[in-house]
Structure 1
Amino acid sequence: MPRTAIHSDSAPAAIGPYSQAVRTQATRAGNTVYFSGQIPLDPATGEIVGAGDIDAQARRAFDNLKAVCEAAGGTMDDIVRVGLYLTDLSQFGAVNAVMGEYFSQPYPARSTIEVSALPKGAAFEVDAVMVLG
């Protein structure tokens, strides 16, 4: 199964042994792109955006996801599944409202999980799966 790494300079560079996203053109999977998690890092500085502000963190993470999406040749409307990770599930309502600004119906499938910690002290992370064509 051929795999192609996707990279966008408009999203933070990978900070470990992973790609921002990977596209596969396997017959059974279609033209599928699997996204690594995006946290609210400013791509220019590599610093967390919006410390203590879940709205700002969610927007930055979704902006990063959107940038990688575009680098892969798609749009947010091509995303079929997202995973949301929060360090405080009581902030779900705020994140849910921000997510509604980035996606339109029919919305992607979603899971939401509370975690004890995220990289660089982020309060929010999002990953996704996109199908093109």
Structure 2
Amino acid sequence: MKNADLYRLVWMSRPLMQATEACVEAGLRETELTVRMRAVLEILREHGDLTVPDLAQRLEIKRQYVQVMVNETLTSGFTEQRANPRHKRSPLVALTARGRDVIEEIISREMALLDRISAGLDPEEIATALKVVLAVTDKMKQAAGDGK
């Protein structure tokens, strides 16, 4: 098969994501966070205060589902709503001090795990793998949009 390695790379993304999610879940056991709540906190940590539609765009999932995720973080006190000077009916979602502290601790632990996982892996090969995965993802999105 001409593209056997590319085919395998694409299909290995699922077991990689499942294993990654299991590691993330294990790292959240001592917190009140779910994986989906963690995703919201991570995006807010990286990008600052955002609206639900902005979060949905960054997470690449439907706005309605992100609203459910945000509601969970609001109820748990990890985020809060703030007035949005650009849009009265679409408040900004912001990390609380509690939310910032917990996501910083989680990411610190995850980075330590990645340090252990990366032992023995060539940084240049990791960079190449990332470049390939980004390119394949972009081309798959284009192909899906083309309806081909």
**TM-score of the pair, normalised by structure 1:** 0.25
**Structure with greater helix percent:** 2
**TM-score of the pair, normalised by structure 2:** 0.23
**Structure with greater strand percent:** 1
RCO (CA 8 Å, sep 6+): is it higher in 1 or 2? Answer: 1
